Amino acid sequence: MDNVITGVETVQQAEQVYKKSKQTFYEAGMNLMEWKSNNTQVMDLMLVKYKANETCMKMLGQNWDSEADTLSVKPVKMLEMSFVTKRTVLKQVAKLFDHLRMFAPVTLKGKLFLQMLWGKQIEWDEKLSKADKEMWFEAMLPEGIPFHQFNITNYSRCLVPVWRL
């Protein structure tokens, strides 16, 4: 089962997409189910049997909350490690599944740090120096936030720039 994801500007466009998609998939012998929109007017256009019951749904590997209109990823707990190696750094960096690259500003620092470790030719299980370990923790944690409180998971799906005059 896969999702079909699209976006439109108006309720009328959403209605056209809904009807056209249902018809196209019907002709192909498939039935599009579990429709969801962040707009209640659009949801009112759909037959009850085709609506998704949940407010939170999986979408492209992430969770979409249609009421808050936010995307989220599974929270990644940063481990407070006394013995930090290139292997443990990679393990932490790879924990966040973010194929849409929405959290790239957060994960980029970790990837750049890992690249720096490769440049130093540090072995996989070699303990990092005190300076490298401190640099790792600074790269991955916002200033002043303890490990057990670090949790970035939500991202507003629709970002609108605010123009200042």
Task: Per residue of the chain (165 residues), give pLDDT as tens.
Answer: 566 778 888 999 999 999 999 999 999 999 888 889 989 999 998 888 888 888 888 877 778 888 888 877 776 666 666 788 999 889 888 887 777 777 777 678 888 999 999 999 999 999 999 999 988 887 776 655 544 444 555 656 554 444 444
What's the pLDDT at 163? 47
Residue pair 14/43 in contact by the 8 Å Cβ criterion: no
Residue 79 to residue 94: CA distance in whole angstroms: 13
Residue 73 to residue 71: CA distance in whole angstroms: 7
What's the pLDDT at 82? 74
> What does the domain layout of the chain look like in residue ranges?
1-53, 54-158
What's the pLDDT at 158? 54
Residues 6+ apart with CB under 8 A from 78: 92, 140, 141, 147, 150
The number of beta carbons lying within 10 Å of the beta carbon of residue 70 is 18
Question: What pTM did the predictor assign?
Answer: 0.58
